[in-house]
Amino acid sequence: MSLQNIGLRMGGVSSAVFAAQGVFLLGNAFYSIMYPSSVASFEGSSLTGVAGDVVQCIGITSLALGTYYLISSYQRDTAIMVSSVPSRLVAAWIMYRNGGNWTQVAAFETSMAAVASAALIWDRYM
């Protein structure tokens, strides 16, 4: 039985959404790694005043996640795409609890989880 037959390799909307999220993460990663002082000095940013090396470590995390998202999108790995939804929701909950400017990041993460969920549902049932 192939993976296609058991529904683990969907495509279309979910792959496009996941790829777009991966590209966004890679852009964030490269900017954070190359210009950490700029990221740490954005007015109203959740990273304002954070040391440059910490910003670069966050950038490396974004690099790993962006790469992971793009590979999963290319492979049309639905299980990985589905697993990103609760991960984003847990991250959003933690960020929201930290308050301040992190609530805006939490809202973004929640919206990305919702978009990914909608795309996965679309590909599965539409």
* % of the chain exceeding 70 in pLDDT: 91
Closest by CA to 14, choosing from 98, 83, 90, is: 83
- Maximum separation of any 2 CA atoms in the chain, in Å: 54
Length of the chain: 126
Residue partners of 8: CB distance under 8 A and separation at least 6: 77, 78, 79
Q: Per-domain residue ranges for the chain?
A: 12-120
55 and 47 Cβ atoms separated by less than 8 Å: yes
Q: Mean pLDDT, to the nearest integer, of 63-82?
A: 93
Q: Which range is most confident: 41-45, 83-87, 120-124?
A: 83-87
31 and 59 Cβ atoms separated by less than 8 Å: yes
| pTM summary value | 0.83
Q: What is the pLDDT of residues 3-52, one digit of tens each?
A: 444 445 556 899 999 999 999 999 999 999 999 999 999 888 889 899 99
Q: Mean pLDDT, to the nearest integer, of 118-126?
A: 90
